[in-house]
Amino acid sequence: MARSTTKYVCTECGYQSAKPLGRCPNCQAWNSFEEEAPSVSAPKGRGGAYGGVVGGKLTPLSAVGRREEPRTSSGIPELDRVLGGGLVAGGVTLMGGEPGIGKSTLLLQVADQVARGGGTVLYVAGEESLEQIRLRADRLGVTADLQLTRDTRAEHVAALMAEHKPALCIVDSIQTVTVEGEGAPGGVAQVRDGTSLLTRAAKETGTATVLVGHVTKDGTVAGPKVMEHIVDTTVFLETVGAFRLLRSVKNRFGQAGELGVFEMRGEGLIAVENPSAAFLAERPVGVPGSVVAATIDGQRPMLLEVQALASKTPYPNARRVVVGLDPRRVDVVLAVLERRLDLTLGGLDVYVNLAGGLKVPDPGLDLAVALAVYSAVVGRALPGNVAVFGEVGLAGEVRSTQAALRRAEEAGRAGYTRLIVPPGLDGVAGVKSVEEAVGAVWAAAGSRA
């Protein structure tokens, strides 16, 4: 006899439970569990453990042909960089981000570029009226003729893809897509099955498809986790200061971790071609406590400013305030400065900041933190042509970091002619310890003041 099993699924993160819970143990959301339609398991047949079912056809790996996935440029170089070279025919991309951050704006710009290049674009508007999209298109200067629909039934969208075979299909958003017989829109089963159906349609028609996804309070895509496994690429749009960062966290057709930088203007999201110059544009020159650091965010090298300030504390215990960096790593660097360089920090409040609003957990910023704090305490500014990177160990040694050559090349392109870095780079005299680094920075004016 067939038997059915009932399970409850968190609508925020997809966590499953045999009974409804008031609070999700995975994402801590309250009252987020919904009952999912019971699945029916058939009884075993008499033909053995699998009911006499014959297995499918096997294909040797050597018999599988090689095929390069064709790509279409989005018309926006920063987006092509994040996607690994452009939109892949038949590839499905999931884009997440906070409400109002610019997801729809960016995708409407992409749709305009693809349509101008001769490709048909299908835009599924699940959250806005067609008139609202027209108003945004006028503001962004969109002149291409896009194909719009308010029909969010997954079966109908798949049929439109099969009929018109567009080069690009944008679904805004996947939480508004419905599948017949699966309950209310936005439910776990609806989102999961809708994603699966549209992905299958994209593969069959060769349509590059972008799904916009809502995010939860902790910034992850709302819905079952299996949705992120179904799609080929997952990207997130986030706000950092005056900029928008587009970051890839999964990419079957390219390298994950790529980063694109945009700036929101009246005409839409504009790509920032030189992020290093943008983040260093307001850096004060000749001020103690300011150091230019070459870092890696994802797979992208950038130059950022590490700032430090030290002041006499009025409290019994000195304060340590860190913004944008790992506070535990900064504590380690401060301990090394006190122990290895005899720098007195016990009576000082120390503030360390990564300017620009970025949060970068890069060990290669250790040496920049050390020099910034030292500069702030002794009151001596670093020369303006110095860039720094390197990890600091507990013995005061300066260790090598990942992508050292790419960091050095980025510093060279920005005009920084002196590098204070670990040994190993051709043509650069590296430093082996924090003491050597301090001596190398202020060698011309004497070691320590």
Would you say 172 and 124 are in contact if contact means Cβ atoms under 8 Å apart? yes
Beta bridge partners of 120: none
Rg (CA), the chain: 27
Residue 90 is labelled as binding a ligand: no
Residue 284 is labelled as binding a ligand: no
Backbone angles phi, psi at 47, to 5 degrees: -85, 20
d(CA 82, CA 80): 5
Give the residue among 332, 343, 335 at the shortest CA–CA distance from 366.
Answer: 332
Helices (H) and strands (E) in the chain, counts: 11, 22
Structure letter (DSSP) for residue 42: P
Positive/negative CA dihedral, 182, 183, 185, 188 = negative
C-alpha distances in Å from residue 141, one per residue of 137, 269, 411: 6, 12, 36
Q: Which two tokens stand for residue 406?
A: 């790419």
The residue written with tokens 């870095």 in the block is 421
Residue 104 is labelled as binding a ligand: yes
Question: What strands, in cross-sheet order, belong to the sheet with 168-172?
Answer: 147-149, 121-125, 168-172, 208-213, 92-97, 233-240, 243-251, 259-265, 268-271
DSSP states of 295-327: EEETTEEEEEEEEEEEEE-SSSS--EEEESS-H
Would you say 235 and 78 are in contact if contact means Cβ atoms under 8 Å apart? no
Residue 266 is labelled as binding a ligand: no
Residue 101 is labelled as binding a ligand: yes
Residue 96 is labelled as binding a ligand: no
Question: What strands, in cross-sheet order, belong to the sheet with 290-297?
Answer: 320-323, 348-354, 300-312, 290-297, 386-388, 418-420
Residue 213 is labelled as binding a ligand: no
Residue 99 is labelled as binding a ligand: yes
Count of alpha carbons within 13 angstroms of residue 320, beta-carbon side: 14
Residue 330, classed as helix, strand or coil, is: helix
Length of the chain in terms of residues written: 449
Q: Which two tokens stand for residue 286?
A: 């000749």
C-alpha distances in Å from residue 220, one per residue of 33, 216, 225, 249: 17, 5, 10, 11
Extract the annotated binding site for ATP: 97-104
Extract the annotated binding site: 97-104
